[in-house]
Amino acid sequence: MNTILKVAGLAALAGLSVQAAAQRDPAYAAAREAKQVGEQPDGYLGVVSGGPAIQALVRDINIKRKAAYTQSAQANGSTVEQFAFTTGCNLVARVPVGEMYKTPSGQWKENTGTPEIDPRCK
């Protein structure tokens, strides 16, 4: 149980720090506002719609996220996948109203108040 709490806490910090760095990028902020990108339960950003520029932006952000997840996972003895999923749970739960996220069933949805969270997140 202690390891789960440690992973969850570190995942929250890693997710927020990676997201905070990405939010300073005007292209990322514009893509979020335009509903071209959204958070996914796996801890990575996804393309909702858009061409090569949006895909490149998402790929760049996800490379940075994976690097942060890898470093944090190694520090606490979890796997990258476990760490990314825990972070994904936190990021989807915090998606601002009006922004996009992927539901547990794999559909893109705009957050209208309370996002649908994967049952494994609880």
How does pLDDT run across 36-75, given as a tens digit for each residue? 999 999 999 999 999 999 999 999 999 999 999 999 999 9
Alpha-carbon gap, residue 29 to 11, rounded angstroms = 22
**pLDDT band per the 50, 70, 90 thresholds, residue 1:** very low
pTM metric for this prediction: 0.81
User: On the CB side of 66, how many CA atoms lie within 13 Å of its CA?
Assistant: 8
pLDDT for 65 equals: 95
Place of tokens 């997201």: 19
Rounded to 10 deg, the angle between the 2-23 and 52-76 helix axes is 150
Residue 118, token pair as written in the block: 């994967």
When pLDDT is averaged across residues 10-29 and rounded to a whole number, the result is 65
pLDDT value at 14 more than 80 = no
How long a stretch of residues is the chain? 122
